[in-house]
Amino acid sequence: MTQKHDNLIAGEWIAGTGYTPNINPSNLGDVIGEYTQASAEQLDAAVQAARTAFPAWSVSSIQARADALDKIGTEILARREELGTLLAREEGKTKAEGIGEAARAGNIFKFFAGECLRLTGEVVPSVRPGIGVEITREPVGVVGIVTPWNFPMAIPAWKIAPALAYGNCVVMKPADLVPGCAWALAEIISRSGIPAGVFNLVMGRGSVIGDPLVNHPGVDAISFTGSQAVGAHIAQQCAVKLKKVQLEMGGKNPQVILDDADLAQAVELSVQSAFFSTGQRCTASSRLIVTDGIYSKFVEAIKSRMATLKVGDALAAGIDIGPVSSLSQLEQDLSYVDIGQKEGAVLLAGGQRLKLSTDGFFMAPALLTDTTADMRINREEVFGPVASIIRVKGYEEALFEANNTPFGLAAGVATTSLKYATHFKRHSQAGMVMVNLPTAGVDYHVPFGGRKGSSYGPREQGRYAQEFYTVVKTAYTLA
């Protein structure tokens, strides 16, 4: 008998319309638990609970907020091994990656515990005599949070923590594929001392619960991470209803490898950012842009390195890459390998489903060569362990190809030249730029986000998070 998990509404655990089994993608026979599906009425009740809690929470003591967030962060960090194991079992990244993500979530809560105490305003002189002007920040209100499946603990954390820190109330809908981590987080939050109704969790499908959450008149702002298609749809709905909205979406991130790169380092960072976490990271490098002079050596070396990668059960020791998270994602990944080859690309390594000792969604990481910028494989986000190589003549062409994408989340350059590193940092059209580091893997205390089709609205994380989670007030006083 697997454990049943309910929605958190107004401080109560409430069963929805039924339960869905949460299946381990490394072992389809392993049911992690049963998670309820919220009804439309329950979504309404959650928004109402948040609205009711907002007046008191919005003016609550910053010490109380800091203490609660610190308590949440402390518990997550203390339980990082257990929570990271749940994450690996549910989403499929390796246990080490899962523990790392859990630790990141804990640190995010700790960071925003501190931020509760650091919110400042401005006092400025008026252009008119005898008047004082104060500029302050206030909470936005009730924030709807919609999250994807690939970072089931870190992404909820980096939205919930600043929302609460700045005095907002929250209704969160996690991805239907991975409710386990969100539920675990909600359970920790429910014991943190935060009043009932300030944080609510509603589980269920995007079409059933996500859409009404976005459109609910009681929700003032939406923070969404997920695909570009859903993000664009949400932005339109928010625009019509004049809601504040923040979107983090996909990527088609370039990793440039220049002739003067340290070859071993370039191979390692490319393999890491293309294939680790099963390539299911919005910051993954899916386009390796390699200059002529290093091309043959790089292709040879990355092929050898890929031959050493171990794909397997996310919880097993010594595994580099876990399973793909779902059957539909696996089918999408395999279909892009096919599409790439039909477009003329050459499959250098991997690209097939793997049969291992447990029944799971395993796939050998795929690398395609002889690709061109106009191929679908280089324009559309695959979101799996699939990368391609684009050969270019030199730095100028590499930079052009790096920017030749509708996305703009992360970009990397491998080079030993200060001149090229500096130029790339300045001229890359991405929100995050890495020099001799994988495009995936960022700090938790600085802004995260992209440009062009990757992001919309204010940045997430670090102090910049306050742009979205607060509204500015200008007050004038006659002295």
Among 115, 381, 401, 467, binds ligand NDP (CB under 6 A): 381
Selected range binding ligand NDP among 18-26, 201-209, 394-402, 438-446, rule: CB under 6 A: 201-209
User: Three-state SS for 234?
Assistant: helix
146 interacts with ligand NDP by CB under 6 A:
yes
Structural contact between residues 50 and 169, judged by C-beta atoms closer than 8 angstroms: yes
Minimal distance in Å, beta carbon 227 to ligand NDP? 3
Distance CA 10, CA 51 (A): 10
465 interacts with ligand NDP by CB under 6 A:
no
One symbol per residue from 231 to 260: x for binding ligand NDP (CB under 6 A), - otherwise; what is it? --xx-------------xxxx---------
Q: Residue 247 or residue 321: which is nearer to ligand NDP going by CB?
A: 247
90 interacts with ligand NDP by CB under 6 A:
no
Among 35, 112, 149, 362, binds ligand NDP (CB under 6 A): 149
148 interacts with ligand NDP by CB under 6 A:
yes
398 interacts with ligand NDP by CB under 6 A:
no
Q: What is the DSSP letter of 277?
A: G
β 455-456/244-248 pair status: antiparallel
**CA-closest candidate to residue 292, choices 397, 387, 374, 386:** 397
145 interacts with ligand NDP by CB under 6 A:
no
Q: In which order are the strands placed within the sheet that holds 19-24?
A: 4-5, 27-36, 19-24
**CA-closest candidate to residue 286, choices 400, 375, 415:** 375
Distance CA 41, CA 383 (A): 34
Answer yes or no: 282 catalytic. Answer: yes
401 interacts with ligand NDP by CB under 6 A:
no
Among 207, 308, 426, 479, binds ligand NDP (CB under 6 A): 207
Q: Residue 298 or residue 361: which is nearer to ligand NDP going by CB?
A: 361
Q: Residue 19 or residue 295: which is nearer to ligand NDP going by CB?
A: 19
Centre a 10 Å sphere on the Cβ of residue 67 and count the other Cβ atoms it contains. Answer: 16
Q: Residue 175 or residue 314: which is nearer to ligand NDP going by CB?
A: 175
How many helices and strands, by DSSP H and E, does the chain display? 15, 21
Answer yes or no: 169 catalytic. Answer: no
Written as one string, the DSSP assignment of 419-451 is HHHHHHHHH--SSEEEESS-SS---SSS-B--S
Among 57, 109, 111, 151, binds ligand NDP (CB under 6 A): 151
Selected range binding ligand NDP among 49-57, 172-180, 292-300, 368-376, rule: CB under 6 A: 172-180
Which one of 75, 90, 97, 248 is the catalytic residue? Answer: 248
Distance CA 443, CA 416 (A): 23
180 interacts with ligand NDP by CB under 6 A:
no
35 interacts with ligand NDP by CB under 6 A:
no
Among 9, 113, 172, 282, binds ligand NDP (CB under 6 A): 282
The CA angle 38-42-47, to the nearest 5 degrees, is 120
Structural contact between residues 51 and 169, judged by C-beta atoms closer than 8 angstroms: yes
453 interacts with ligand NDP by CB under 6 A:
no
Among 205, 303, 452, 463, binds ligand NDP (CB under 6 A): 205
Residue 307 corresponds to which tokens in the numbers above?
């031959």
Residue 226 corresponds to which tokens in the numbers above?
């997920």
Centre a 10 Å sphere on the Cβ of residue 117 and count the other Cβ atoms it contains. Answer: 11
Minimal distance in Å, beta carbon 167 to ligand NDP? 24
**CA-closest candidate to residue 365, choices 304, 275, 285:** 275
User: Three-state SS for 89?
Assistant: helix
Residues near ligand NDP (CB under 6 A), total: 31
227 interacts with ligand NDP by CB under 6 A:
yes
Catalytic residues: 248, 282
Which residues lie near ligand NDP (CB under 6 A)?
146-151, 173, 175-177, 205-207, 210-211, 214, 225-227, 230, 233-234, 248-251, 282, 381, 383, 409, 454
